[in-house]
Chain A
């Protein structure tokens, strides 16, 4: 009976501990911003932050996430204000179909948390786990650099 702390809120769930966090979040807690793409941690669509680090929620059992701080895309916008990564995403018009972008933004947020001024190779290394079939990679790179330069300052998650 895992207790999951998602976006600061505690959820007591009557689910199997091996139910991947992704399905606990999407089906049991009802936050659908985190997406299913592959189920084997290859595409990054399901990326969430656990204690600030990017994790593929499709491969992590809910039991293993117990007690940890889980952050999903829904928590980045605070009181109607976009996070600097989200704001950069909008400014660069990154999304096309948009399906992978929750995962992309979570990975980018984690990157900027520990590498505030990433160069291209930092970006490639941090973002290579997130597939975008629409091919928005050029704009993702631009948006990460824009967010890094953002005067909003650090908004660590």
Chain B
């Protein structure tokens, strides 16, 4: 991409706006501000991996595109494995690009509880529309595959609402490699949409550049210090003097960076996520789930609290699922062509925290504790996903619980409804993180004002998943983008005179 740079020597840069992070939030901010004619510099910790160089193997994708090689977890009882992208485009490069708006009643409740100005279904409508247009949000491409059809059939057989999931795609051909960085360019991730658009308008993007230190002067971020890797793996110091900083490093790394610099008020104290538990279904016939895109319908009857859906499937992901209890489940591996992976996801009411690890710079330590209601939701969700899969013809359903032999009969699916799931043996994961720097005017709850401006600093705005106040109950990418568009517009809407005065004052200070 023209406009992307690799640093080969120490550099000293200045810009109107520095955007830290290139995921859904950062890309939306950069696209908005470059279109307005500002000089925008974006730094991204991970590499740029274009579609034509997307890894063929999942193991290679873990190393190149996923944070921590995919080995990231919120500690707790039990730990919750989470996934984040670490590449140009962020998590949009490894997710399934499902595009859903947060339900209106949830937005309204947040507006009231957190005192968020100019926030709600009507206020966010134009920003959601812009996000949908940017990623070409559209119905699933055909054919959707048997793994999708089975989930649809199971839900409908039980009389539950089943919804086709809109995805950000353009002529997706179902390669089933969403988690590898889409190799065909069909998925409309940020590296395929907003980032090239911003580059065409003058964005400068430095990949493999990690922000390590913020230097403050008179309630402003005066300098941002980091280091960038060159083509030979050598790191070189990078010094950036921005007029404005947009921090878009995600729900984990934004609070970690801020807390490491002493900004703690309501930052990293209320991490929210969607606890998710998987279940494998074995069908009597071949469904070849590996040959199609991720299941593209969800059972939405129980939303926003519980959603049932399907997961990415390949022999390796199925093997990894079975490896949770390999002694008893290895015998299922030969049936991989008859298998599908599904999940129950709850809108978590629990809370977690993000803290920088002592002595490790901005490296985060993430903790999460599920609320009792989350456990009830997971037990209920697992019961219902089991019932739906049996209704679709499954002969065996194996929940992601260590030592569990699986169910052969739908009547057994309510096993955990009375006593709850076994805490120590339940294997939970999530890909949706939020809430670690909530916006709003209720200062006792919120880290920033209603438009992401960090309290106590004049020139730092947060625009990423940490701004979603709580777990939304839906895939968060659309909401991250909508809030980032809104924050960038609010920044642009400041009176021009005030902006000019600030710029002159900044020049005087230097």
Q: Do A and B actually bind?
A: no
Q: List residues of chain B with CB under 8 Å of any chain A CB.
A: none
Q: List residues of chain A with CB under 8 Å of any chain B CB.
A: none
